[in-house]
Amino acid sequence: MKRRKSKRGSKAARPPEIPQDAEKAVEPSVVPDEADRQTPPPGESVAAVETEKPAEPPVVLAGSDRRTHPRYEFAAAVEVIAPESGARMETRVRDLSQQGCYVDTNKPLPLGTLTDVRISKGSQLFAAHARVVYSRVGKGMGLVFTAIEQKQLRTLETWLVESRETSWLAANRRRSQRVLMTIPVRVSGKSDAGLPFEEETHTRAISAHGALLLMSTQVYRGQRLTLSNVLTKAALECVVAHIDRRRGEHPQAGVEFTLPNPMFWHVAFPPKDWTPHHPDAKSRVRTGRSK
């Protein structure tokens, strides 16, 4: 009898188990934005990015796009104003993406601060509403755009097209990061007139971030295309970063993957820090001596 009582007592003291399905149901399904996925260094903090509803129909929410937006080096003057506190600073932009920017400042604003951002480069001006989502004392702060008007969005797209091409050309000069290889591909998209097209062609060079293609169809920088690997049947979205027109040859289009995908070509690319002196590199001198 005592043993039975002790067993009952142990069961009563044990807290009720919650099924895994119930726990999963309680947790909301959230897809993090680009800023949420960043892991800040010790001593730094990142605020969660929330999508704000537009006050007026003409306003476009850049933060509503859940895809990862690549950041590009971008140098321009910027004015950041916090209407609530009246804080105002004039500084420089270090990098830019379709979702936000990073600015240099020794005294970053508190996380979550709503701001008005005005970026100027030459005669072009871009304005948007933004929020502070990244802060690094003595270094700078990251801003995510919360609302952009259509006219301002066109200016931003122009800057990104130019920055994307500069980045692509710089990466293409690093020969260790690209492989000269002919792979049959299928390219499809829409022309300026909105008419769909599809072209069978092949690559001239490939990398983990894109490729150089021979194109007979006329394309333009910033154009989004669908690139299909004929051998593997895999397909992904890419953006035209550069167009090389040479006399007597079909134009060559340099495309950049919307999201980096090293496995798309099924080729093992060397690391970014690879050089002929890399430990994994084979020495031609030793090979010659061994013969």
At 196 the pLDDT is: 93
Specify whether 145 is located in the same domain as 180: no
Q: In angstroms, rounded to a whole number, what is the distance separating the alpha carbons of residues 48 and 35? A: 7
Do residue 83 and residue 179 come from a single domain?
no
129 neighbors 147 (Cβ within 8 angstroms): yes
**Domain identity same for 59 and 162:** yes
- What's the pLDDT score for residue 291? 42
Q: Which of 170, 190, 218 is the last residue of a domain?
A: 170
Are 79 and 147 contained in the same domain?
A: yes
Same domain, 196 and 136: no
Tell me: do 164 and 59 sit in the same domain: yes
What is the domain extent for residue 130? 54-170
CA distance 131 to 115: 6
The answer to whether residue 20 is domain-embedded is no
Cβ neighbors of 140 (< 8 A, separation 6 or more) are 94, 102, 103, 104, 105, 108
Nearest to 129 by CA among 36, 40, 32, 53: 53
Q: What is the pTM of this model?
A: 0.50
- Domain for residue 232, yes or no? yes
Domain with residue 149: its CATH number is: 2.40.10.220
Residue 4 placed within a domain = no
Does residue 249 form part of some domain? yes
119, part of any domain? yes
Rounded Cα distance between 180 and 201, Å, is 15
Clarify whether residues 162 and 62 are in a common domain: yes
Spatial contact of 98 and 118, defined as CB atoms under 8 Å apart: no
One domain, residues 189 and 85: no
Q: Is residue 16 part of a domain?
A: no
The answer to the question of residue 84 being in a domain is yes
Residues 63, 96 share a domain: yes
- Give residue 161's pLDDT: 87
* Domain count along the chain: 2
Kindly state whether residues 151 and 132 are assigned to the same domain.
Answer: yes
Q: Decide: 103 and 140 in contact? Cβ < 8 Å.
A: yes
How many angstroms separate the CA atoms of 251 and 3, rounded? 87
Q: What SS3 class is residue 155?
A: helix
Tell me the Cα Rg of the chain: 26
**Secondary structure (3-state) at 154:** helix
153 with 196, same domain? Answer: no
Looking at the domain assignment, is residue 49 inside a domain?
A: no
- Residues 207 and 164 placed together within one structural domain of the fold: no
pLDDT averaged per 10 residues, the chain (length 291): 47 46 37 40 43 44 50 91 94 92 93 95 94 90 94 92 82 67 94 88 90 90 91 90 77 85 79 54 45 42
